[in-house]
Structure 1
Amino acid sequence: MLGRSEGARTTMNQMTGLPVSRRVMNLAGFLAQTARRLPDHLAIAWGDRRWSWREFEGRCAALAASLTAHGIGKGDRILVHARNGNELLETMFAAFRLGAVWVPTNVRLVPEEVAFLAEASGARAFLCQSVFPGHAAAVAAVLPDLRLLASIGEAGFGQATHEGLIAAGQGRPSPVATVEYDEPCWFFFTSGTTGRPKAAVLTHGQMGFVITNHLADLLPGTTEADASLVVAPLSHGAGIHWLTQVARGAASILMPGERFDAAEAWRLVEAHRVSNMFTVPTILKMLVEHPAVDAHDHASLRHVIYAGAPMYREDQKHALRKLGRVLVQYFGLGEVTGNITVLPPALHEPDDGPHARSGTCGYARTGMEIEIQDEQGGALPPGAQGEICVSGPAVFAGYWNNPEANAKAFRNGWFRTGDLGHMDAEGFLTITGRASDMYISGGSNVYPREVEEVILQYPGIAEVAVVGVPDRHWGEIGIAVIVPRAGAAVDEAGLLAWLDGRVARYKLPRRVFVWEALPRSGYGKITKAMVRAEMEARGLLPPA
């Protein structure tokens, strides 16, 4: 797990006297089982290309064999920077097969941000899409001892290409590694309440539970007769969703273009009789407001899952009118792998009422426990607001090489989400705010401190505060308030132009305001609540 040796541990059950085994199925076993049971069934469709489960597993096994030949093995971290495509999914299962750790990035990150993830994870291999040569150069500069730098697509960098690795690995032995419950399989980067990203360690045992739980609570009845449309990044929540499709042999349909196209999405839903998809509220809103929703047959849809941010009630009602009762909401964090609550289709009421549950984020997922706690860790009664804390098999193993963050994140066996909320007497959870200053824009987490640290590098800025404010399209957007140094002049356009390329575009503030001073508390602290209140008093908040 976190720094544990790779040797197997042998403990004895004190009641039976028998050895206690922590061995679990390697996640690659899901693919192996499906390829054996449904070898010729469609696994992935992407544009005019098709792969059966046998073909897909064969490519993953060959890639794993080539990675082995380059010295990549169990426990090694494999960093991947690529857009959605079969290659990204192949790197995932090749890593699992080796017992290595898959480390996907957010494809919108700039080179310096990806280089930080490479260093923080201690990556031994980097597979980078050919259209991102700057990212490859940045990672190679900070990790000169990489065992393998390979391009996905033809490029002027790297020792090999993704396709070349698969071709070289054909016919070579590629056994599925034996793993234990708490051995890592995925580093899910998240910043939590601090500015710099941290690697949340997801393990084989934990993820086996999560896949089972997703199928039970979010996608009941899923079989190989189903099809899933991929409309969100597979490096994050959509990748978890993809694993459930693998486990049941359902086909996954990938969008053909780099940008989201609602008309094409509805065409694919009709053509492939799509029954489920994973979205964020921003994408769902674009889907149901596009004219194509009325031009294509979408009666095949049973589960349209949305997560990652709150959804405005009016937007929820519109989606229900267009699609019927197929919406599934869940609340979760990367550290709990999206596995805290569920609000199933039956509880998505199209009309408001005294007993409506649509304003909540649902009830606890199967096998998970939620408790609202006060600042000392004491349990609060129904209706009282406090921090949302959770325990259960879906909780991650901890942050990689970060004991300070682990100490803050866990208390008395509970994971502290940093979100505020309350539960009613029946166990339905309502989120009321965030203990951290993080906000969610278009389904992606934005951590103000990380952006603020970059802004402070701009000449002439003394202080800055970035706050998230409501936005009808993106859910939330960032607004920066800056205080120039004495005698300095800073203009909005110049700062935003300078920031472009230094932080990912989704993190860029949409507006910059220049003030003489930032409001402070009685203790001299700059609080985001006071900044937001001052913005409201000045009439600077955009209309929600």
Structure 2
Amino acid sequence: MESTGSTVAELVLARWGDHRTGLHFEQQSLTHHQVAAGAAARAALLADLLPRGAEPHVGVLLDNTPEYPLWLSAAALAGAAVAGINPTRRGAELARDILHTDCRVLVTERAQLALVDGLELPGVRILVTDTDEYGELLAPYADAGPETSGTVTPASRMLLYFTSGSTGAPKAAICSQGRLAAAGRSLADHFRLGSDGVHYICMPMFHGNAVIADWAPALAAGAGVALRRRFSASAFLDDVRTYGATYFTYVGRAVQYLLATPEKADDRSNPLRMGFGTEAGAVDAARFEKRFGVRLIEGYGSSEGGAAIQRTPDTPAGAIGLPVPGSRLAVVDAGTREECPPASFDAEGRLLNGDAAIGELVNKGRTPFEGYWRNTEADAARLRDGWYWTGDLFYRDAEGFFYFAGRTDDRLRVDSENLAAAVIENILARWEGAAAVAVYAVPDPVAGDQVMAAISPRPGVDFDPPAFAEFLLSQPDLGTKMAPRFVRVVGRMPVTATNKVARSLLRREGFRCGDPVWWRPGAGAYRRLTPADEAALLSQYRAHRREGLLPLPEQPLPPTRPQPRIAP
């Protein structure tokens, strides 16, 4: 029976004595009871390892192995917090993340040891899970009982998870046991997730998506969990069938990678009931359901917990949904602090007043945002004028439904008109030849921005510039300023460790990159950008003293692999 526990610790202990299979990983399986008992042993070990007076924080630098949920559960029982350490960070930046979150214990594995080798981590005890020494260290605690630290309350810190560091060092957002338990129960109830399900966790567990939207609802519902060490599009369906997975979450471009795998006659033969995530886009969601027979539900929740939008049965196509009950969300012009007018659409669904309707999503009511660890400056930037500012662009229709339009740094200004990258991406994603699309700004030689798109063609598909131009002309909701001036053809879309498009990298490289770039100097056809074209463009930037806005091509990056084919 599902627990109504107000803390994660209570949800963990609710599985004590439950001998159904609770965790799958490769050839291993553990019962719910074994997971809870393993967590109790690790909690007791952690209590002895933490120095007196130290912050109860443990860093976890692991792939998605069983040790990850075991240590999440152990931290809950011990009244400690897990800091998810990003394995794509290196050197001093990686050390900074561990030390900034005051981790006195770091749990890792032999495959990650090279990342911490040579780092100065004073006072940090490193545990290597796949070693005999680790087993010997845990052995004395094998009989630990179903107990929690006497200090555990709903307010106890549970997670310290790093958010985007595109404008400085990553910030460690705080999530309490109460908030994580509530999020798990809410999602389990909203999606009617039951104890008979299996949650497939293939997104990295150092990121909030996998823990908050996948692991926590499984814990709340009493469902099983199946782990994939790292996301693999080619292994996805095999895993789903092997483990009987019924639910999964995704972030960023994972759905596009799944759609890019070779189609098979039995694709729809799988036990999945639904997928939940962000940034799949309406076009790819429809393609996914048609091919795999699985409905994808797009949701929105700021990583820090300050705002959330959920889909309702009457949510229009393209919209995310309505604010969760009790919240006061608004779309606001960051300059004037006034609410933006509702969006207007023409008969074809084209957004007519994007310049006025698109603004930043804010929460004017009570917010569950619990702050950043030791970062009062970031707290103040997030909470301004008594409101919670998400940093995300949205627009709202007359009926109150909210539509995602991108990050605030994904806004483009073309010929004095404000555009949102996500709106253009959703249109370009309709092109059948595209496996992935990213839209971003490059500086205009005179003023404002120009639209640039990176396109990764589907396997075996040639990029055909004339056909792409015809496609653009046939899109009724593509505004006159939205058509890409530059198109970069990439073999594989660059992504972050959480499968989000690395737009900062694309913006930084601009049109001076190692991949083929096509452009339209005016309203004519796309043609290949040549060195002579590039030199002429640079002279325009110099003439208007805007050359400094372009990235320096001192160390050009190699082209993405594999190289795309270009139609003759």
How does the TM-score come out when normalised to structure 1? 0.70
Counterpart for residue 377 of structure 1: 337
Which protein has greater RCO, CA pairs closer than 8 Å, 6+ apart? 1
- Stretches of structure 2 that go unaligned for 5 or more consecutive residues are 344-356, 412-420, 426-434, 442-448, 457-491, 494-499, 515-533, 553-563
Counterpart for residue 320 of structure 1: 289
Counterpart for residue 527 of structure 2: none
Contact 2:300 2:309 in 1 (8 A): yes
Task: Determine the C-alpha separation between the residues in 2 that align with 1:272 and 1:112.
Answer: 39
Aligned match for 2:88, one of 99, 104, 108 = 108
Per-residue CA deviations over 1:31-80 (Å, capped at 9, x if unaligned) read 111334xx111111112211001101111100111111213588421111
Within the alignment, does 1:35 sit opposite 2:16 as a pair? yes
Per-residue CA deviations over 1:207-240 (Å, capped at 9, x if unaligned) read 22222222233xx221111112222112211122
Shift in CA distance, 281/435, structure 1 to aligned 2, threshold 3 Å? closer
Within the alignment, does 1:86 sit opposite 2:66 as a pair? yes
Within the alignment, does 1:26 sit opposite 2:4 as a pair? no
Moved more, 24-33 or 84-93: 24-33
Shift of 1:297: 5.2
Counterpart for residue 247 of structure 1: 220
Contact 1:214 1:244 in 2 (8 A): yes
Contact 1:80 1:127 in 2 (8 A): yes
User: Map of 1:435-514 to 2, 5 A cutoff?
Assistant: 435-436=408-409, 470-472=454-456, 474=493, 476-477=501-502, 478-479=505-506, 481=508
Aligned match for 2:37, one of 42, 58, 63 = 58
CA root-mean-square deviation: 3.9
Task: Determine the C-alpha separation between the residues in 2 that align with 1:51 and 1:413.
Answer: 47
Within the alignment, does 1:359 sit opposite 2:322 as a pair? no
- Stretches of structure 1 that go unaligned for 5 or more consecutive residues are 1-23, 348-355, 449-464, 484-490, 494-512, 532-541
Within the alignment, does 1:266 sit opposite 2:225 as a pair? no
- State the SS of the aligned residue for 1:102: strand
Task: Determine the C-alpha separation between the residues in 1 that align with 2:543 and 2:82.
Answer: 43
Within the alignment, does 1:164 sit opposite 2:136 as a pair? yes
Shift of 1:482: 7.4
Shift of 1:361: 2.1
Within the alignment, does 1:121 sit opposite 2:92 as a pair? no
Counterpart for residue 342 of structure 1: 310
Aligned match for 2:301, one of 332, 344, 361 = 332
Counterpart for residue 226 of structure 1: 197
Q: Percent identity?
A: 21
Counterpart for residue 368 of structure 2: 395
Task: Determine the C-alpha separation between the residues in 1 that align with 2:399 and 2:262.
Answer: 39
Contact 1:227 1:251 in 2 (8 A): yes
Shift of 1:480: 5.7
Contact 1:64 1:174 in 2 (8 A): no
Shift of 1:522: 10
Counterpart for residue 49 of structure 1: 28
Task: Determine the C-alpha separation between the residues in 2 that align with 1:394 and 1:110.
Answer: 34
Shift in CA distance, 415/138, structure 1 to aligned 2, threshold 3 Å? farther
Within the alignment, does 1:145 sit opposite 2:105 as a pair? no
Task: Determine the C-alpha separation between the residues in 1 that align with 2:358 and 2:545.
Answer: 25
Contact 1:230 1:277 in 2 (8 A): yes
Shift in CA distance, 246/517, structure 1 to aligned 2, threshold 3 Å? farther
Counterpart for residue 21 of structure 1: none
How many equivalent pairs are there?
438
User: Structure 1: which amino acid aligns with 2:506?
Assistant: I
How does the TM-score come out when normalised to structure 2? 0.68
